[in-house]
Amino acid sequence: MEEEVCYSTVTFKPYDRDKSTGSVRQSEESVLYAEVKRKQSASQTPPESTEKEAVTQISPAYRRATVLLGLICFLLLAALTAVSAFNYIHVSKYNNILTQHTKEKATNLQLLADKEMLEQERARLLTQSEEMNATLDFILKKNTFLVDEYCQSTSNGVQCTPCPQKWILNGSSCYYFHKNWPWKTWSMSQEYCKTYGAQLATIDSVEEQEFINQHATSYYDEYHGYWIGLSEKTEKAWVWTTGGKLKEGFWISDPPEGYMHCVLSVTSKNPLKSWISASCHMYNRWICELDALTWPAFLQAQPNPKDTST
């Protein structure tokens, strides 16, 4: 530390040896200035008055700054705490909402899948109901319905075919080709078909005629064939058992007129030329035709494509 310099003023008065002669300088004073230096200890603290004055001068501004800074820090801390709490609350709320949304989305997807399955089931049941109603209407229109001819009990439950046993399915119709004894007249053959709710076959297309010719095998002689549902009710008027008039025939030769004959389909190399007319009282084989029956899907059985008629 620097040395401190102290100044002091010392006044000396001369000794009055001669009072009588010393009157001249009696009033004068001798002034001697002396400079005294002293070394201050390193451990000596600053003067108390100076420190107090500095504290007195700095303290108010410092305190205001400290209080202001503390207040700002407090406000920042409070704001940070509030933001943290706000963020935590909203993040928690967001996570809860997200979790709930995920659950609801999964539930919604499951409900959509269930809805689709229910719609498919509803469509299936509706189709099944329509099929059952159609089957019931078909059965109710028949005077007799031989259930045993259509349905058989199997290891898989009851299975039903669209045609009776020994009948052949072609398109939307079932056909029965009678190939055993006894033979019958045209009217007797028609009565036999009626026991199945059927009639003698009605042929109204080339495809159907080809199908008939394929299964109507020849027997006995060229004059014997299979009765079909066409007869001459009046002169020059060939009428089907359904009441419809003949539009196109598959005659081997032009039939005679006015004989009140019925029509036979014989086996021919040319399916489009296989009809002959004969006396309705002649005994022959016959062909019955019946609408195929559509069963509900759970009752349907695979029909036998082979000709099992006898």
Task: Return d(Cα 187, Cα 190) in angstroms, integer.
Answer: 5
pLDDT computed for residue 178 by the predictor: 92
Confidence of residue 247 (pLDDT cuts 50, 70, 90): confident
Q: Could you tell me the maximum CA-CA distance found in the chain, to the nearest angstrom?
A: 212
Answer yes or no: are the C-beta atoms of 198 and 190 closer than 8 Å: no
Confidence of residue 264 (pLDDT cuts 50, 70, 90): very high
Of 17-21, 34-38, 142-146, 218-222, where does mean pLDDT reach its minimum? 17-21
Residue 289 carries which DSSP code? E
pLDDT averaged over every residue in the chain: 78
Average pLDDT over residues 24-28: 47
Structure-block tokens of residue 92: 């928690």
List Cβ neighbours of 40 (8 Å cut-off, separation of 6 or more).
1, 3, 4
Average pLDDT over residues 192-220: 90
Q: Is 60 exceeded by the pLDDT of residue 258? A: yes
Residue 164 carries which DSSP code? -
Which residue did the predictor score with more confidence, 265 or 132? Answer: 265
CA distance to 49, 51, 59, 61, 79, per residue, from 55 (Å):
10, 6, 5, 10, 34
Average pLDDT over residues 236-247: 84
Task: Return d(Cα 156, Cα 20) in angstroms, integer.
Answer: 171
Residue 143 carries which DSSP code? S
Average pLDDT over residues 220-234: 86
CA distance to 98, 165, 182, 271, per residue, from 310 (Å):
75, 11, 12, 22
Strands 275-278 and 285-291: unpaired
Answer yes or no: are the C-beta atoms of 296 and 131 closer than 8 Å: yes
Structure-block tokens of residue 288: 């019955």
Of 136-145, 152-161, 259-268, where does mean pLDDT reach its minimum? 136-145
Answer yes or no: are the C-beta atoms of 134 and 152 closer than 8 Å: no
CATH architecture of 147-299: Roll (3.10)
Q: Is 90 exceeded by the pLDDT of residue 74? A: no
pLDDT computed for residue 49 by the predictor: 53
Of 28-37, 167-176, 199-208, 256-265, where does mean pLDDT reach its minimum? 28-37
pLDDT computed for residue 225 by the predictor: 92
Burial of 143: CB neighbours in 10 Å, binned 0-12, 13-18, 19+? exposed
Which residue did the predictor score with more confidence, 283 or 58? Answer: 283
List Cβ neighbours of 220 (8 Å cut-off, separation of 6 or more).
none
Confidence of residue 21 (pLDDT cuts 50, 70, 90): very low
Structure-block tokens of residue 85: 């709490």
Task: Return d(Cα 268, Cα 135) in angstroms, integer.
Answer: 37
Q: Is 50 exceeded by the pLDDT of residue 64? A: yes
Confidence of residue 307 (pLDDT cuts 50, 70, 90): very low
Average pLDDT over residues 77-86: 87
Coil/strand/helix, residue 69: helix
Task: Return d(Cα 227, Cα 194) in angstroms, integer.
Answer: 14
Confidence of residue 110 (pLDDT cuts 50, 70, 90): very high
Evaluate the CA torsion angle 17, 21, 22, 23 in order and state its sign: positive
pLDDT computed for residue 13 by the predictor: 57
Which residue did the predictor score with more confidence, 155 or 245? Answer: 245
Task: Return d(Cα 267, Cα 276) in angstroms, integer.
Answer: 11
For the chain, the structural domain boundaries read: 4-38, 147-299
